Amino acid sequence: MFGQFLLAFREALEAALITAMILAYLVRTGRKPLVRYAWFGVYIAVAASFALGVAIWLVYGDLSGPAKALFEGVATLFAVVVLSSMIYWMARKGKELRKEVERRVKDIVTRGATLALISFSFIVVFREGLETVLFLTPFLVDDATGTIIGASLGVMASLVLAYAIFVVGMKINIRKFFYFTSILLVLLAGGLAGYGVHELVEYSEEMGFEQGWLSEYAYDLEIPSENPFHHKGIIGSVFAVMFGYTVKAEWIRVIVHIAYLTIALPLVVWVYRKEIPRSRTEETSSKWKRQNPPHKGDIT
């Protein structure tokens, strides 16, 4: 349930923060009457995301046998691709998000295009909703109850945090927050990548295709299903969601899992960390200027 909570929390928080940026800009610039149009876009996006989730669930429910394994494998790997691109995009562009949102809104309201404002708020929220549906699909088909509970708690927690930041004025380093949650999401995505490959292996075997040694088990811990440390047990399931833990895994699953983490984890850390030296330099320069204001006659 924690993995579902983290995914929903992260995505819903992004949507809530962007929405708050739009609303705050409209109020700050004296365009409060336009706030309702921004809300219209948000409401439509939430409804569309929910409808999409229900549609995917209904489609999955009608599948059986090899088709179900194929759907799970393809859906999971597609979710990994989208999740990875989202993590990388936020690492690269997160620090400029407020400026970009305000620039877009300013351009829209200057033209007086209320329909464009509705469309913009719809797009930014529905994008997060679409990603959430894609990410939660692999968990939903395996644990519907846990996914619904975890996702609901994640959305509520994100709304509370967004409210605290923009209304109460709570101070939080958003970039650091997204940095640490990105690390957790990369670990989660690595497990999803391995699980997606595992489902495709099952599909291939049911269809009579052989992958040779790649489909053979790399290890088998021989832990019974009733044991709490089984990947479907009360303890093992937590590690299964967050780290892709399983009591036995094919060689191709292990290879894909390790390869993903080897590439994605250092990349995300590097993208976030490379901004730190420049940020510290800017902070030091700003502090020096405050402590040493220019005097009359100084060359500036």
Show me where the domains of the chain are located: 2-280
Token pair, residue 241, equals: 């969601």
| Residues 27-44, mean pLDDT to the nearest whole number | 86
Residues 238, 222: Cα–Cα separation, whole Å: 19
Q: Provide CB contacts within 8 A for 116, sequence distance 6+.
A: 108
- Categorize the per-residue pLDDT at 167 as very low, low, confident or very high, splitting at 50, 70 and 90: low
Q: How far is it, in rounded angstroms, from Cα 69 to Cα 196?
A: 9
Given this model, what pLDDT does residue 169 score? 57
- Top-confidence residue, 290 or 160: 160
Q: DSSP readout, 26-41?
A: HHHTT-GGGHHHHHHH
Decide if 186 contacts 261 (C-beta within 8 A). yes
Positive/negative CA dihedral, 77, 82, 85, 90: negative
> What percentage of residues in the chain have a pLDDT greater than 70?
85
Pick the range with the lowest mean pLDDT from 134-138, 182-186, 209-213, 215-219.
134-138
Q: Are 166 and 27 within 8 A, CB to CB?
A: no
Region 268-279: mean pLDDT is 69
Q: Quote the pLDDT of residue 255.
A: 93
Say if residue 300's pLDDT is above 70.
no
**pLDDT (tens digit per residue) in 179-195:** 887 888 888 888 889 98
Percent of the chain scoring above 90 in pLDDT: 6
pLDDT averaged over every residue in the chain:
79
- In degrees rounded to 5, what are phi and psi of residue 298? -70, 150
Residue predicted with more confidence, 101 or 249: 249
What integer pLDDT is reported at residue 256 of this predicted model? 93
Q: List, in sequence order, every beta strand (DSSP E) within the chain.
A: 217-220, 248-250
Average pLDDT of the residues in 214-226 = 86
The whole-number pLDDT of residue 101 equals 80
Q: Considering only 10-19, 52-61, 232-241, 286-295, which range has the smallest mean pLDDT?
A: 286-295
Task: Sort residue 296 into left (φ over 0), alpha (ψ -120 to 50) or beta.
Answer: beta
- pLDDT at residue 71, rounded to an integer: 82
174, 13 Cβ separation under 8 angstroms: no
- Tell the residue number behind the tokens 């913009």, with chain if given: 120
Which of 128, 160, 145 shows the shortest CA–CA distance to 4? 145
Average pLDDT over residues 45-53: 88
Q: What is the pLDDT of residue 275?
A: 59
Alpha carbon distance 128, 159 (integer Å): 14
Res 262: pLDDT = 93
Q: Which amino acid is at 108?
A: I
